[in-house]
Amino acid sequence: MANIVTFLCLYILSSTLLLSRITMANPGLSIQLIHCDSPESPLYQPNLTQSHRTQKLVLLSKAHAMRLTKDLHSKYINNSNANVVRAKIDYQKDSIYMAQVSIGTFRRTPPISYFLDVDTGSGIIWIQCQECRNPGHHCFYQRQPLFPSLESLSYKTCL
């Protein structure tokens, strides 16, 4: 009986160690959320005092609540034309969290890192591709280069 207990203990211990090695070797996808007031954020403003940062967050929260109220109002009351796109991209105006992710699979280069605006009120993440320069499309200003979707082996059109 003691041999079985010893064997089971060694089996559980070795399995745990093996699994921890496997999970450490292949972490999968991880995304770091970066608060807008963190020095790591591209939105960071080092000249703001703590009082100004708090005031800015209060204003951002109020603006976010007003936008959600407006979206709900237009969705449930003013949905006379469902084909009209009403969303406006206000990049960097009410961003609280950014995420730095690397995307794309390329033959000769590593994935490209981008900062994404994380909108906790939406499940959709958008990134601008080079195709926004094509006729009939529109690009909004960004400091980072446009994503080279035609060169990416993992890119797929979703619309």
Q: What is the pLDDT of residues 10-63, one digit of tens each?
A: 445 455 544 444 444 444 456 777 777 888 888 888 999 988 888 887 887 777
Instruction: Mean pLDDT check: name the lowest of 15-19, 117-121, 134-138.
Output: 15-19
Asked if 128 contacts 112 with a C-beta cutoff of 8 angstroms, the reply is no
Specify the pTM.
0.41
Q: Which of 63-72, 126-135, 142-151 comes out lowest in average pLDDT?
A: 63-72
Q: What per-residue confidence (pLDDT) applies to 47?
A: 93
CB 101 within 8 A of CB 31: yes
Q: Which tens digit of pLDDT belongs to each residue from 64-107?
A: 777 767 766 665 555 555 444 444 444 445 566 777 778 787 88
How far, in Å, CA of 133 to CA of 114, rounded? 19
Instruction: Give the whole-angstrom CA distance, residue 84 versus residue 56.
Output: 32
CB contact set of 113 (below 8 Å; sequence gap of 6+): 100, 101, 102
Number of H helices, E strands in the chain: 2, 3
The CA-atom distances, in angstroms, between 114 and each of 12, 13, 16, 90, 108 are 41, 40, 36, 17, 18
- Answer with the residue of higher pLDDT: 118 or 100: 100
The Cα 81–Cα 147 span in angstroms is: 32
CA distance 1 to 64: 64
